[in-house]
Amino acid sequence: MAVFAATGSEPPSALDGFGGIGLLLGKVYGKWAAKPQHILARRFDSTQTARHACYTTTDGAHAISGTVSLDQMRGSRKGGEMPKIILQRVTILVMMLFIVSVAAFCVPLLSDGDPARTILLSRVSDLDLAPEAVEAIRKELGLDRPLPVQYLSWLGAALQGDLGYSFASRQPVAAEIARALGVSIILALSALGAALLVALPLGTAAAMRPGGKIDGFTTLVIQTLVATPEYWFAPISILVFALWLGILPSAGWQGWESLVLPAMALMLRPMAYFTQVTRASMREVVAAPYITAARARGLSMNEAVVHHGLRNGSLPVGS
């Protein structure tokens, strides 16, 4: 039978009653218990100074007393679980990467026709391909080997950064990706930045007047943006701004003008999400006591939210 009692900086005199009751219960129920039982009584004072636990263990004629840190108790419990959790996460990650790699390798094989013929047709315009040319392409790319050998060869090269050559441009795929990566990063950051610039003031204005016209308009905008697919909005924006009005380019990379249309298409769903999160977070901030105290000091609602609440309300959006 074991009895635990948390103690702090004060003497554990106030816990002697708990220890005595625990020992008494141990003597009564120990007759029917096949194994030693443990009763834990914890006490934390108002200053949260209790950091240790006193214990008394009785098992038949033996009694052992001592003190153990609560941090050590928590650490011993978590220390055994954390490696197991890490091992599970790493195992799941490896399995997911394996599945993705197999799927990426099998995509060309699932397409219609022979991959060698498809590659050769992308290089020449003659549909009547010579069997010798197709066989030469198959041997050049190693397509005549068994599929497991092809997969392992492709996976080993991919892990070393060798992604092969493009069938269209005959350039290294890694170089093609690196050339387009900078533009993709600029486009993604521009879309996220524009979404935040619109979502933060719109969600804040809706939270300051719940149920009002701005709140209703914000709800309408959120539902509309969520229901608008990017693949529909993008050609419509090209049709309006590039063809009809002629004020923005429809393709290419010529400067900041080329960012407007693709950024508008990519910012729809992030803007709806950021607006919804901002409105929910700012509603809690507006009802917080420190906003009420700021208004009691003479600040208006707008000043109190801007100076004291906007930073706290935007934390969920940043996270």
Distance CA(66)–CA(314), nearest Å, equals 49
Q: Radius of gyration of the chain from Cα atoms?
A: 34
Chain position carrying tokens 């009694």: 63
Residue 63, strand partner residues: 58
pLDDT tens-digit map of 109-136: 777 667 777 777 777 766 677 788 888 8
Q: What is the model's pLDDT at position 240?
A: 93
- Residues of the chain with pLDDT > 70, as a percent, come to 72
- Closest alpha carbon to 2 in 61, 44, 64: 64
Amino acid at site 160 = Q
DSSP 195-253: HHHHHHHHHHHHHHSTTSHHHHHHHHHHHHHHHS-HHHHHHHHIIIIIIIS--S-SSS-
| Distance, CA of 13 to CA of 82 (rounded, Å) | 37
β-sheet bridge partners, residue 59: 62
Q: Exposure string (b/e) for 141-174, b if CB count within 10 Å is 16 or more?
A: bebeeeeeebeeebeeebeeeeeeeebeeeeeee
pTM, to two decimals: 0.56
Q: For Cα atoms 154, 156, 160, give the angle at the middle one, nearest 5 degrees.
A: 110
Task: Encode pLDDT of 67-90 as tens digits.
Answer: 545 455 454 444 568 888 999 999
3-class secondary structure, 63 = strand
Give the other-Cβ count within 10 Å of 117's Cβ: 16
41: enclosing H helix or E strand:
strand 38-41
Q: Would you say 221 and 272 are in contact if contact means Cβ atoms under 8 Å apart?
A: yes
How far are the Cα atoms of 80, 119, 177 from residue 124, in angstroms, in the given order?
A: 62, 9, 25
Distances (CA, A) of 122 to 5, 106, 126, 169, 170: 78, 20, 10, 10, 11
Write out pLDDT tens, residues 253-306.
887 888 899 999 999 889 999 998 999 898 888 888 888 888 888 888 888 888
Q: Which of 208, 213, 196 is nearest to 305 (CA)?
A: 208
pLDDT in tens, 127-185: 677 788 888 888 888 888 888 898 998 888 888 888 888 776 778 888 888 888 888 99
